[in-house]
Amino acid sequence: MDKAAFLKELDNSLSGEVTDYVKKDTINYYNKYIVDEVNKGKSEEDVIRSLGSGNVVAKTVIQTEKAKAEGGKSSGYTSHTDTAYNTYEDKNEDKGLHVNLNEKGEPELKFGKHSLNNWAGKLLIVCIVLLIIGVVLAVLMGVVSLLIKLLPVIIVVGFILWLINFVFNT
């Protein structure tokens, strides 16, 4: 079976059983998964063989959606964002400073995989801000200190320039 046949079988099996959003999300997910695995060097046939038939995948999605509708917990496919494959995909998004939404839909500040919403994270942020303020003040104090040392030279050069300007303009 090739990718087109697998996706067609999946599409047909999901039609009328789940919402259009879930159907489209599922098909897009498996299409991208197959393409990514082929790009890694696997054959399309091997990838599709490892997935099983589109009917079996569709049954898992349908059962999961029914369980969700009944308020129960599911053990299979729930959505594109809940899959193990997506966890692999999102590893690059877990680098650096970023904001994610937690389970309650509230923003959560993270650095890598570490939450900065707890007391330790907030303490770290305060320390970093104080460090930045200290560095800025040190640079400003260094500039002011240098200007104070150079002030006599600046005054003499300024006076000489003023004198030359005064002599040649009169």
Task: Identify whether the C-beta of residue 100 lies closer than 8 Å to the C-beta of residue 110.
Answer: yes
Model confidence at 72, pLDDT cuts 50, 70, 90, reads low
Helix and strand totals (H; E) in the chain: 6, 3
Phi, psi of 100 (to 5 degrees): -120, 160
pTM above 0.85, yes or no: no
Task: Identify whether the C-beta of residue 94 lies closer than 8 Å to the C-beta of residue 113.
Answer: yes
What is the reported pLDDT for 93?
Answer: 52
pLDDT of residue 104 exceeding 60, the answer is yes
Model confidence at 119, pLDDT cuts 50, 70, 90, reads confident
pLDDT of residue 122 exceeding 90, the answer is no
User: Domain-by-domain residue ranges, the chain?
Assistant: 3-92
pLDDT in tens, 15-26: 888 888 889 999
pLDDT of residue 85 exceeding 50, the answer is no
